[in-house]
């Protein structure tokens, strides 16, 4: 038997996992851009003044810095959600496991086999899921 709480638990866990995966990808993107920017800086340092194509390097640096800013902006916008996901997911899992254990024990002790959907249908309540 599936409970309404199972559905919410699954959706919350999946959303939190998706948030954390998105954050990981954004951090990887920023890191890759940082490496490319660093490579340009190192190339500029190693290149003599006569051989330096300043316009090309400046243009490429501007392009990379703009992309890095876009990624950082999205990371900043995601930060509150990522913070909640990181700090809450473990707590949700722990609390939900405890609630499941208590529910299972109570249902066994009281020999309850009905679902809340059955009770809702009897009472004419719709839209619980």
Q: Is the pLDDT of residue 87 over 90?
A: no
Q: Which of these ranges, 37-41, 45-49, 125-129, has the smallest mean pLDDT? A: 125-129
Instruction: Quote the pLDDT of residue 93.
Output: 87
Q: Give me the percent of the chain exceeding a pLDDT of 90.
A: 57
Distance of alpha carbon 68 from alpha carbon 7, whole angstroms: 38
Q: What is the pLDDT of residues 42-56, one digit of tens each?
A: 999 988 888 888 899
Q: Is the pLDDT of residue 9 over 80?
A: yes
16 by Cβ neighbours in 10 Å (0-12 / 13-18 / 19+) ranks as: buried
């Amino acid at each position: 038997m599936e409970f309404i709480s199972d559905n919410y638990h699954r959706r919350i866990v999946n959303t939190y996992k998706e948030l954390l995966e998105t954050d990981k990808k954004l951090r990887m993107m920023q890191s890759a851009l940082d490496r490319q920017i660093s490579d340009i800086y190192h190339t500029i340092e190693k290149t003599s003044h006569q051989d330096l194509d300043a316009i090309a390097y400046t243009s490429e640096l501007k392009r990379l810095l703009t992309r890095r800013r876009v990624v950082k902006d999205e990371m900043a916008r995601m930060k509150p959600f990522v913070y909640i996901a990181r700090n809450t997911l473990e707590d949700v899992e722990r609390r939900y496991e405890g609630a499941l254990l208590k529910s299972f024990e109570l249902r066994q002790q009281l020999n309850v086999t009905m679902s809340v959907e059955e009770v809702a249908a009897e009472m004419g309540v719709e839209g619980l899921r």
